[in-house]
Amino acid sequence: MSFGREMKRRVRDALPPLGFAALCGYFAWHSVHGDYGLLAREGRLQDIAAARAVLIRAEGDRDAMERRIAGLRGERIDRDQLDERARTLLNLVGKDELVIPYDPGKRLF
């Protein structure tokens, strides 16, 4: 009987440290692999970097469009740009002009 009581006492004494170790292990695992863990943070940082690259590209496109539109507005109208835009919209060319077709995906400017 003494052996059984000794085992129960040892198990009872070992349960709190084992429970604490399991709790620490749970939180340690989730701090790396959880929704807000280190791996998820790295993924979010990569997403942010990709979004910033897209933003920079979009801002560059917007600035280019604003420069082109600025030539068609205001007191000073850029005649070359106005002529280019009118020919594009009306699908017309001059008698002495040469037309070179290109792929629609390739931009000339």
72 versus 16: the higher-pLDDT residue is 16
Helices (H), 34-78: 38-70
Helices (H) and strands (E) in the chain, counts: 3, 0
Longest dimension (CA), the chain: 115
Give pLDDT tens digits for 49-98. 999 999 999 999 999 888 888 777 767 777 877 788 888 888 888 888 88
Residues composing the chain? 109
Residue 23, burial from CB neighbour count under 10 angstroms (0-12, 13-18, 19+): exposed
User: Per-domain residue ranges for the chain?
Assistant: 1-33, 36-93
Q: Does the pTM exceed 0.85? A: no
pLDDT computed for residue 16 by the predictor: 92
